[in-house]
């Protein structure tokens, strides 16, 4: 019986979507702009990397072809093979938004048809009644922040006041999200999680996609650092996903990274959540080695987004892509006859773009494995084509409204 592994390279988009202008993102292109920056020397960093973007394994499987199909432009500095060894194409998101839950749910066969709620005011972002509820039910002296902000910047700015006053740092972005940062030692990690659960309930009527716990450590003197104990409290998907279908049929599921959080821990099987892309891929490979026939491994590699996209760090992003590329041959060597591996993304986060937010983009789709005939997949009119295809491949039937390839 077939096995499948699905790896989401969080934010690795491949060119602005047709409706990108509605999101302020016309012209964005995460992979294309990183590749071009690397050829111009803007991807160099001493001791980290230098030169053109080097992704021989992804390109061999069809990444450069997918990017060119999406944008009409070749990846700068990348030599394309005449014939890729995998199936390649790109996906177009039909869900409204450019956030993590929308992208992942659609990939899993559940596009979001209703609009999310957002906190649109840049300052005093949260309704006064919501702030009052957070303070009362959280037994807090108040909150700090209450605005759109970059997570690293607002922790550096307000970390000392947070420790002194005991007020958590609450902020948002253009995504449907309310983030709460607090010091693991002074505020307490479990207390932060409990507060986020309370806030999750309070924002449900507002259709806010996620409440995110953002714990950090450190001091003013030493600097503040976010830890790996982030936890997302998400709305559950409104309809069946491939995870639900597999669970109902008793299939083994392993989810790696923040997949459990994104799907509100519904039908997410054995959850593994190490810190950092490298550790997550190592965990995924170990789980894949033990996965029985008919099993499904669903992986999110979040560092591309949180560590490099939002921070507009081109060299860091390029180095992370190259590091993942170096791990790919190990996965390929572990694929047994009948297995399939799919690599995709959930949205863009162009590190050359203005601001610090996600970008509305197409995403690459690569599929490969023993017995998987190389061929172009073309333009897929929904990310949900992935769930439909994997459902057929795993013998459970197509899931969601997508079209199997």
**323 φ, ψ to 5°?**
-65, -45
* pLDDT tens digits for range 310-344: 999 999 999 999 999 999 999 999 999 999 999 99
For residue 6, the cross-strand partners are 298, 342
| The CATH number of domain 4-114+238-393, selected from 3.40.50.720, 3.40.1280.10, 3.40.720.10, 3.40.605.10 | 3.40.720.10
d(C-alpha 147, C-alpha 124), whole Å: 5
Task: Give the residue extent of every domain in the chain.
Answer: 4-114+238-393, 128-233
Average confidence (pLDDT) over 128-142 = 97
* Domains 4-114+238-393 and 128-233 belong to one CATH topology: no
Please determine, for residue 114, whether its predicted confidence score (pLDDT) is greater than 80: no
CA triple 9-280-95, angle to 5 deg: 30
The counts of H helices and E strands in the chain are 13, 14
> Considering the chain, what percentage of its residues have pLDDT values greater than 90?
92
Question: Does the pLDDT at position 381 exceed 90?
Answer: yes
- Rg of the chain on CA atoms, in Å: 21
- Residue 405: band (very low, low, confident or very high) from pLDDT cuts 50, 70, 90: very high
Q: What are 107's two structure tokens?
A: 């990939």
Q: Which spans in 275-313 are helix H?
A: 277-290, 303
| pTM recorded for the entire structure | 0.89
CA angle at 357 for the pair 255 and 31, rounded to the nearest 5°: 70
* Tens of pLDDT, residues 10-47: 999 999 999 999 999 999 999 999 999 999 999 999 99
DSSP, collapsed to helix, strand or coil, labels residue 292 as coil
| Amino acid 45: pLDDT | 98
Per 3-state DSSP, the chain is made up of helix, strand and coil in percentages (nearest 5) of: 35, 20, 45
pLDDT, average across residues 365-383: 97
- Is 70 a residue whose pLDDT tops 80? yes
Of 3.40.50.1860, 3.30.70.1250, 3.50.50.60, 3.40.50.150, the CATH number of 128-233 is 3.30.70.1250
């Amino acid at each position: 019986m077939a096995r499948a592994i699905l790896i989401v390279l969080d934010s690795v988009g491949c060119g602005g979507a047709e409706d990108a202008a509605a999101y302020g993102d016309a012209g964005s292109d995460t992979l294309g702009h990183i590749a071009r920056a690397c050829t111009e020397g803007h991807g160099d960093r001493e001791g980290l990397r230098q030169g053109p973007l080097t992704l021989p394994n992804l390109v061999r499987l069809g990444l450069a072809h997918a990017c060119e199909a999406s944008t009409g432009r070749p990846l700068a500095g990348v030599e394309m093979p005449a014939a890729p060894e995998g199936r390649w194409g790109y996906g177009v998101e039909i869900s409204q938004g450019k956030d993590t839950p929308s992208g992942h749910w659609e990939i899993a066969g559940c596009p979001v048809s209703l609009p999310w709620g957002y906190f649109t005011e840049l300052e005093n972002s949260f309704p006064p009644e919501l702030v009052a509820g957070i303070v009362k039910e959280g037994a807090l002296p108040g909150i700090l922040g209450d605005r759109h902000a970059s997570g690293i910047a607002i922790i550096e700015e307000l970390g000392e006041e947070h420790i002194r006053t005991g007020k958590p740092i609450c902020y948002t972005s253009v995504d449907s999200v309310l983030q709460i940062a607090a010091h693991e030692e002074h505020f307490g990690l479990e207390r932060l999680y409990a507060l986020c659960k309370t806030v999750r309930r309070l924002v449900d009527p507002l259709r806010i996609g996620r409440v995110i716990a953002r714990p950090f450590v450190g001091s003013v003197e030493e600097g503040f650092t976010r830890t790996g104990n982030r936890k997302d409290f998400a709305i559950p998907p409104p309809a069946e996903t491939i995870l639900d279908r597999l669970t109902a049929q008793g299939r083994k599921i392993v989810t790696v990274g923040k997949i459990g959080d994104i799907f509100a821990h519904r039908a997410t099987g054995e959850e593994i959540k190490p810190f950092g892309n490298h550790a997550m891929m190592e965990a995924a490979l170990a789980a894949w080695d033990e996965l029985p026939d008919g099993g499904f491994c669903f992986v999110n590699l979040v560092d591309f987004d949180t560590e490099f996209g939002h921070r507009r760090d081109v060299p860091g992003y390029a180095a992370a892509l190259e590091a993942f590329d170096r791990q790919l041959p190990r996965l390929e060597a572990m694929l047994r006859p009948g297995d399939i591996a799919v690599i995709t993304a959930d949205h863009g986060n162009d590190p050359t773009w203005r601001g610090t937010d996600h970008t509305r983009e197409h995403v690459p789709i690569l599929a490969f494995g023993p017995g998987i005939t190389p061929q172009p997949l073309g333009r897929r009119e929904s990310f949900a084509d992935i769930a439909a295809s994997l459902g057929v491949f795993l013998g459970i039937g197509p899931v969601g409204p997508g079209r199997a390839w």
